[in-house]
Chain A
Amino acid sequence: GAGVSQSPRYKVAKRGQDVALRCDPISGHVSLFWYQQALGQGPEFLTYFQNEAQLDKSGLPSDRFFAERPEGSVSTLKIQRTQQEDSAVYLCASSLALTGGSYEQYFGPGTRLTVT
């Protein structure tokens, strides 16, 4: 496809369940980013991949959050033992650049996670 795609678009999980969120970046984009956007806030950085290498995971809020991009394309963000405070929109973005700060990042539509 032409843009970044994410699935599922909506996910409802019971507290304590594990969830997996998928991101398909724009073809050829080497950099991939995950952000968390709470209601009424701007997106907050979670983690960053350059190809398959996870270069920065400083934004992951706890060890329940795990991300991977094993073949340098599709990425999965996994949240274990979900808590209510994990409810948010999870945005994925991709960029052509090796260092993402120099190039625009293109965002997917997000996955809205609701933990009940």
Chain B
Amino acid sequence: EDKVVQSPLSLVVHEGDTVTLNCSYEVTNFRSLLWYKQEKKAPTFLFMLTSSGIEKKSGRLSSILDKKELFSILNITATQTGDSAIYLCAVGRGGGADGLTFGKGTHLIIQP
């Protein structure tokens, strides 16, 4: 059975800190790994990763994939209170099974 495991499940840090969120996976026919940010509404797309070792960056957020060890990390530097959200990791498979498999998410709280 396909599995996506995120850690930690929750994290409380102070504004300005750097955080690292983890996602490990076991899926057949891996195609891509995606990160989403979910506040009290729709999950919003952050990154899609398909190749190992290539960092994707957007402002203070960055992510990288290791297809040998089957994990990804999402880094957020100089955190702000607006970064408080649930961060979801999801894996997309090939072979016609195109629904994403999600982890439970990491609930990140940034304290001022």
User: Chain A residues in contact with chain B, CB under 8 A?
Assistant: 3-4, 31, 33, 35, 40-48, 55-56, 58-59, 91, 97, 99-110
- What are the residues of chain B within 8 A of A3 when measuring CB–CB? 42
Asked whether, in the complex, the Cβ of B99 is within 8 Å of the Cβ of A33, the reply is yes
Interface size of B by CB at 8 A reads: 27
Given contacts A40-B104, A101-B32, A102-B31, is CB(A48)–CB(B98) below 8 Å?
yes
Tell whether A59 pairs with B99 under 8 Å between CB atoms, given A107-B43, A108-B42.
yes
Alpha-carbon distance between A33 and B92 when the two chains are bound, in angstroms: 13
Contact B102 A101 (CB under 8 A): no
CB <8 Å contact, A99 and B94: yes
Q: In the complex, are the beta carbons of B104 and A104 less than 8 A apart?
A: no
Contact, CB under 8 Å: A43 / B96: no
Contact residue among B41, B98, B102, B103 (Cβ-Cβ distance under 8 Å from A56): B98
Instruction: Report yes or no: A56 in contact with B43, Cβ–Cβ below 8 A.
Output: no
A100 — nearest CB in chain B belongs to which residue? B98
Query: A105–B43 Cα gap in the complex (Å)?
Result: 10
Given A99-B96, A101-B92, A101-B93, do A109 and B42 touch, yes or no (CB 8 Å)? yes
Contact indicator A42/B104 (Cβ below 8 Å) = yes
**Are B98 and A91 in touch, CB under 8 angstroms?**
no
